[in-house]
Amino acid sequence: MQISNRQLFLNHVAQVSPKPMDLEIVKAQGVYLYDTHNNSYIDFISGISVSNVGHCHPNVVKAIQQQSVTYMHLMVYGEYVQAPQIKLAKALTDLLPASLNSVFYTNSGTEATEGALKLAKRVTGKTEIICFTDSYHGSSHGSLSVMGNEEFKQAFRPLLPDVRIIDYNSIEDVNKYITSKTAAVILEPVQSETGYTVASNEFLQAIRKKCDEHCALMILDEIQNGFGRSGTFFAFEQTGVVPDILLLAKGMGGGLPIGCFISSQKLLNEFTYNPVLGNINTFGGNAVCCAASLACLQTIQSEKLMDDVERKSNLIRSLLVHPAIKNIKGKGFMLSIDFDDTDLNFKIIETCVKNGLIVDWFLFNTHSMRIAPPLIITDEEIKKACAIILKSINESVSKT
């Protein structure tokens, strides 16, 4: 008897929850996923803020194909001059303030976080890291240390020492706790796992001021915010602050794994001595991933995908009107739909998937639904997706 792919998945692919979504997807194109029975699903979460230009965008596919027949991996990070790395770094830094002029490539967002924390300690000679309640920066050891949720941390302690968690959007806490002992302050301009809590400009500006006063580095994590999802290429562009270190990943790769942290050449040069090779990896800046990322960046620009984010975000808000919806919050294509409780939210999410729409919940907010569609989504696809949500709410409410 032949074992199904589903059973092989459960038997041999390490699981992260007792109940995975368990869809067997065989094709993805644009905003749609297709399963083994040719059922289609609108991906209304972009694989968790990854597929900003949709799935298998022709420009990204072409870049991958061209680079993969030229070369892929050549050498560990930072040794050879590779055109895909150079072109992408130049394109990224051209979009950024002059102080953010050097790119350190990683394989993922959490690795970018780890590198940024190391850089902050190396540059400042201090050890205290300040993060925020319900912050999320990845799941590796250092990133977990600056996560602002104890439920996900307690099983893995002891973690990094000298980490202080303060309240998000609290200027009072910023003024009280950022001191001469602080090496860095790390935060997301829009918190990705709380139900998209948006930092106020005043809060971010207060952090910038205190960091400057105490020679601490301000690290902005745009791993989920970046690459157009906020309505500008980087969310911090709307805030009046410039970070010392910027973290990127997820939507950066057009579907391939890549991340980076960006700072000044002066700061990043600290990794070159005492000790030499102060931060290294094997696959960071992989040529194929860099080619895909550059194609993704150029597609967002050439197709002017950011121009319509705010209008389409408002369209979603206008369509999702229902007594069961208590609130809609967020920014751009990062929206949180709030319901009364977790059970109802999970029922609605499960029903949406059965009805052909992929939505999800938040790690630190289980009564809210995550909406984070690809930037390429059309008005008609938005209307179809919102109709499925309303239908699924009605079906779920009728069962309670």
- Determine the pLDDT at residue 17: 83
What is the tens place of the pLDDT at every residue in 320-374? 999 999 999 999 999 999 999 999 999 999 999 999 999 999 999 999 999 999 9
DSSP assignment of 289-348 equals HHHHHHHHHHHHHHTTGGGGHHHHHHHHHHH---TT--EEEEETTEEEEE-S-HHHHHHH
Task: Burial-class residue 19 by CB neighbours within 10 Å (0-12, 13-18, 19+).
Answer: exposed
- Determine the pLDDT at residue 53: 98
- Determine the pLDDT at residue 47: 97
What is the tens place of the pLDDT at every residue in 86-104? 999 999 999 999 999 999 9
pLDDT range class, residue 191, cuts 50, 70, 90 = very high
The answer to whether residues 76 and 280 touch, using CB atoms and an 8 Å cutoff, is yes
What is the tens place of the pLDDT at every residue in 134-184? 999 999 999 999 999 999 999 999 999 999 999 999 999 999 999 999 999
The pTM of the whole model exceeds 0.85: yes
Cα-Cα-Cα-Cα dihedral sign, residues 356, 362, 366, 371:
negative
Q: Is the pLDDT of residue 52 over 80?
A: yes
Q: Is the pLDDT of residue 11 over 90?
A: no
Question: Mean pLDDT across the chain, nearest whole number?
Answer: 96
- Determine the pLDDT at residue 14: 85
Nearest to 218 by CA among 174, 249, 260, 251: 174
Q: Is the pLDDT of residue 399 over 80?
A: no
Helix (H, G, I), strand (E, B) or coil at 35: strand
- Determine the pLDDT at residue 398: 82
pLDDT range class, residue 62, cuts 50, 70, 90 = very high
Collect all residues with Cβ–Cβ distance below 8 Å to 31 and sequence separation of at least 6: 42, 43, 44, 54, 55, 373, 374, 376, 377, 381
- Which domains, from first to last, does the chain contain? 5-53+304-399 (3.90.1150.10), 59-302 (3.40.640.10)
What is the tens place of the pLDDT at every residue in 202-249? 999 999 999 999 999 999 999 999 999 999 999 999 999 999 999 999
- Determine the pLDDT at residue 237: 98
50 HSE (CA, 13 A, CB side): 15
The answer to whether residues 93 and 109 touch, using CB atoms and an 8 Å cutoff, is no
Q: Is the pLDDT of residue 77 over 80?
A: yes
pLDDT range class, residue 66, cuts 50, 70, 90 = very high
- Determine the pLDDT at residue 400: 63
- Determine the pLDDT at residue 162: 98
